[in-house]
Structure formats: structure tokens, C-alpha cells
Amino acid sequence: MTTLVATSVVRGSRQGESHGGVYLIDLTNERVLRTVDWDAVDIDWQGRGWDRGLRGIEFDGDRIFIAASDELFVYDQTFRQITSYRCPYLKHCHEISRYERRLYLTSTGFDAILGFDLDRNLFSWGLSVSRDKKGLRAVPFDPESRHGPPLRNELHINSIFCESRAMYISGLRTSGIHAYTGRHLNQVATLPDGTHNARPYRNGVLFNDTQKNVVRFVPQQGKQGVFNIPVYNPGLLTHTEFDDSRVARQAFGRGLCVIRDGVIAGGSSPSTVTLYDIDQMKTTQSLNLSLDIRNAIHGLETWPFPGLPDD
């Protein structure tokens, strides 16, 4: 059985309404279980997603880490909240990625990456990213210091992917995916503006081309894979009075994970998870969780534990 865990943001919700959640999606049986209904009231309600909903997902042993805009939550396998952590330099977090004993979080509001120590359970490292005449520049900082980066969101860094070769960083306005090796930040692939979830894959790069409503796999050589994000009959959608580019829209692509070699899953709005086969160049499965136009998948990962919490 292949199961995915997904987070969502209700981008035009009002105070008193749910503005996101966590879902387990059994792909084999096409069964969806909502495990968390996110209805916190102490958030910033201005603008599209902002502080609403839940975003990046990662795992460490029995712990499930899920990022909100400015707080890192920890759950057990039944989605009982264990604790949470804050950092003054965490704002408008999007994606998170674990490598060895550190969790890395995009702090989009600060154009920064934060490192969370999984053994000491604290924010122990930061990387400020800015643009100069030569391109992008990365400067480490102490997240416990008062001398960190300013709140700016010029690059809108939204994607982080870590492996042994490098940490890969990208965002809406970074013009590409950049590799950080501990000393330098080098561009390794160009990207169109407005991308999410960019990461190296096979011999190329995989990402949500959010502005074009497609998922793309761009190899260094060979044919590019382009997959259209599902679009629904407008008559089936709810809350369409919010359906504009400022709040929410159909086919907003966000959330991406590799299920197995050649098969990936992508998220979109209204909350839908779709499977794509890169080798056969076709869409193989699509599950809709909600027809509320405001409800958009944001985080997406494979579930590493056996069974579902209520099994």
C-alpha cells in the first residue's frame, strides 16, 4: 500500500473557519483520512496564504514535523501534537527538508534557510540569501542572535532539498535552483519565475511550474516531461467568489514528492493529488480531497509508517 501525507492551506478563509489540515491518502484504496483540522486564531489574516494552514512535512524516527508559517510542530504517528518550536527568523515558511541530524526550513519572509538540530531540539544555524551584482550571495548567521537578516522577502525562497552533494535552494524570484556546498552558492539549473518544489531529479530538475499550471521534469539531455495539472468544471467548485489570482485559483501547483523511480505525486488547488509517470509520460491517478477553490495542497510526502493511525 502506498500512502501519502499532505498538508493544505485554505487561502481565502476567514476567522472562525478551518484554514488548512493534514490528510493521509491511501492511493491503493483511494481512501482519504483527515488527521488534523487547522483552526488556530492567532495568525496573520492579510493576503492569500500568509499565516494560514500547514506546509512542509518531514520525519525523524517516530516524530512527524510539520511547518506552519512561523512555527514548527511535532506530532506522533497518531497526529497527537507533542510540542512546537519557534524562531524569530522563521516567517512564511514553505518547504522543509531533513539531512542527517538537521532539519532545514525555508524562511520565505527573511529570504533565509534555518537549520533545526534534531538532537538538541533547537534552531542552531541560519543562512541568509541575497542578490548582488554577481548573483545570489549566501551568508551564515546565528538564529539566536539579534543580528540576523531583515524581514524582506525579495527572492521568495520557497524550496529546499538536501542530499550529500549539496543543499538546493530556489524560489519564485531566484531565476534558478542554486546549490550550497558550505562555502559557495552556485546556480545549477535555470527556472522560470513562479516555481515551487524545485529539486534535482535523475539527470535534471523536477518542479511545479505554478504560473503555467504544469509539472515539469527538465533533463540535461532528452525530451522534457510536461504534465498538465487537473482542471475542474467551474460549476462543481465551491467558494468561487474568492477565485482570483490574489486569493485562490484552479490548478495552483504546489507540493511534489517522488513515490518511486519514475513515479511522482503533485498537489494542486482545489485540493487534489495527482500521480505522474515520467517514463511513460502520462498521468496515472488523481484524487480530489475538496472542491473548495480556496483549499490548496501545500506539503506532500510519502508516509513512512505501516498502516494508518486508525487501523
Maximum CA extent, the chain: 56
Supply the range of the domain harboring residue 27.
3-302
* Domain of residue 11, CATH code: 2.130.10.10
Which residue has cell 546565528? Answer: 142
Q: Mark 94-128 as b/e (b = at least 16 C-beta within 10 Å).
A: bbbbeeeebbbbbbbbbbbbbbbebeeeebbebbb
pLDDT value of position 310: 67
Residue 307 in domain: no
Contact 138, 180 (CB under 8 A): yes
Q: How far apart are CA 43 and CA 293, in angstroms?
A: 21
Any long-range contacts for 178-182 (C-beta under 8 Å, 24+ apart)?
A: 178/136, 180/127, 180/138
Q: How far apart are CA 240 and CA 165, in angstroms?
A: 44
Instruction: Tell whether the model's pLDDT for residue 220 goes beyond 80.
Output: yes
267: pLDDT confidence band, cut at 50, 70 and 90? very high
CA dihedral 276, 98, 255, 189 (to 10 degrees): -70
Residue 41 in domain: yes
pLDDT value of position 95: 96
Contact 2, 45 (CB under 8 A): no
Query: Count of domains in the chain?
Result: 1
Q: Is 236 helix (H, G, I), strand (E, B) or coil?
A: helix
Residue 309 in domain: no
Q: Is 197 helix (H, G, I), strand (E, B) or coil?
A: strand
Amino acid at 152: R
Mean pLDDT, rounded, for 231-255: 81
Percent of the chain's residues with pLDDT above 70: 89
pLDDT value of position 9: 86
Residue 137 in domain: yes
Instruction: Tell me which residue of 239, 241, 257, 244 sits closest to 295, measured CA to CA.
Output: 239
Q: How far apart are CA 285 and CA 130, in angstroms?
A: 40
The pLDDT tens digits of the residues spanning 46-69 come to: 444 445 568 999 999 999 999 998
Q: How far apart are CA 121 and CA 81, in angstroms?
A: 15
Contact 115, 102 (CB under 8 A): yes
Region at 66 (left for phi over 0; alpha for psi -120 to 50; beta for the rest): beta
Residue 286 in domain: yes
The pLDDT tens digits of the residues spanning 162-210 come to: 999 999 999 999 999 999 998 889 999 999 988 999 999 999 999 999 9
Residue 310 in domain: no
Residue 62 in domain: yes
pLDDT value of position 223: 87
The pLDDT tens digits of the residues spanning 138-153 come to: 999 999 998 899 999 9
Residue 311 in domain: no
Instruction: Tell me which residue of 223, 230, 240, 258 sits closest to 294, measured CA to CA.
Output: 240
Beta-carbon count within 10 A of 69 CB: 22
